[in-house]
Amino acid sequence: MPASALKKAVKKNIQNIVQGDYAVSNDPERMLTTVLGSCVAVCLFDPVARVGGMNHFLLPGGGYASSTAKSCGLNMMELLINGLLKSGAKRENFQAKLFGGAHMIEGLTNIGSENAKFALDFLDYENISVVGKSLGGDRARRVRFWPTTGQARQKLMDRAETVNVEKRVVRKPVLAPVESSDLELF
């Protein structure tokens, strides 16, 4: 296989999980990846069914205590759990690995610790075993997770890379007005 074809095949099996997203897979070739600062990613897997998934969330607003924050975190956890159950996982087999929750900017509220606390409290309440975690600190992380085996790797980013992560701007798509005859479903 030519090098370009091999590179394309490898890229096809890597799925990037962005903030507010999740994915579930039972494909042994699939790798889920994300970059985290104060956000948290929960990697949840069933080693018996060989299916797993990852989410990536940041509690909005006032943090863990607010009902808006709880509903955001709860939603992301429920989406991940329900996705796993639909893929054949059994709740009693769930194992979790957590990453992120860094304190990225000195002098501001430590939303990272609030994100980490929410995830840990949720998993404890749901009686889901945490088999690994890397939470806190002051550096961003690049996380790779293989959902069928539960294997995870992280790379702490250096300060220059971390600054670039903090300055990323998420732009909302500009949508043109749609008339009924212009509606296209795909």
AA letter at 165 = V
pLDDT tens per residue across span 147-161 = 999 999 999 988 655
pLDDT tens per residue across span 3-32 = 554 455 456 799 999 998 999 999 999 999
Hey, is 142 helix, strand or coil? strand
Q: What is the CATH classification number for the domain harbouring 19?
A: 3.30.1330.200
Residue 183 domain flag: no
Residue 59 domain flag: yes
Contact by Cβ (8 Å): 34, 143: yes
* 39 in catalytic set: yes
| Full domain range(s) for residue 98 | 9-157
What global pTM score does this model have?
A: 0.77
Could you write out the DSSP letters of every residue in 26-39? --TT-EEEEEESS-
Catalytic residue among 23, 39, 69, 81: 39
Hey, is 43 helix, strand or coil? strand
